[in-house]
A and B are shown apart, each in its own frame.
Chain A
Amino acid sequence: GAVVSQHPSWVICKSGTSVKIECRSLDFQATTMFWYRQFPKQSLMLMATSNEGSKATYEQGVEKDKFLINHASLTLSTLTVTSAHPEDSSFYICSARGARFGTDTQYFGPGTRLTVL
């Protein structure tokens, strides 16, 4: 399957700081990337969908000014958590999709565990 990487794998920050998470598709062009967050023992909740070169589409209840998403190229999307607070602590996972060998499968990154103190 396709390879999606995420960086960093974990981050600890102080309340009020901003954190940037990168999601890269390593061996295919990702026309669409998705950002999810997952609380312990819970499901994946879609935060936003981003298409290369256009503004992200945010799910209801997700603050677009707090969770800034940029999809500047076909292989890179970034999620910036601005002015992070303890309630933003979570597991953030990206996924990427690109028509590769005729499939539309989404491939997930390894996730980033964010802890806000």
Chain B
Amino acid sequence: GENVEQHPSTLSVQEGDSAVIKCTYSDSASNYFPWYKQELGKRPQLIIDIRSNVGEKKDQRIAVTLNKTAKHFSLHITETQPEDSAVYFCAASILRPGDMRFGAGTRLTVKP
């Protein structure tokens, strides 16, 4: 089955700096890669996703890149703000049936 590895497990940055979180996956058939943000005790919230037919996607301060050959994808957050502090999870799935496998999570702390 699919195995997703995520690094780093914790990341601390100064407000305004950029943050990068990286994930690798094992199943070359995976074609959907979402990123979720989870605040303590709350549900994971989808922040951005990318499909395998696209190499990069951007939404304001957030971007995701995908390298299918190397089977890795990354989340980039620019101009970080304290409210970006949370746990971020990457995931990989095959769209049908779509049972996502999650990375272990990265605890991001943005210091004011």
Contact = CB atoms under 8 A, between A and B. Distances in A.
Contacts of A105: 34, 46, 49
A108 interface: yes
Interface in A87-107: 91, 93, 97, 104-107
Contact of A46 (B95, B96, B101, B105): B101
B97 interface: yes
B100 interface: yes
Contacts, number: 50
B44 interface: yes
B89 interface: yes
Contact of B98 (A1, A42, A43, A104): A104
B105 A34 contact: no
Residue among A32, A43, A93, A113 with most chain B CB within 10 A: A43
A110 interface: yes
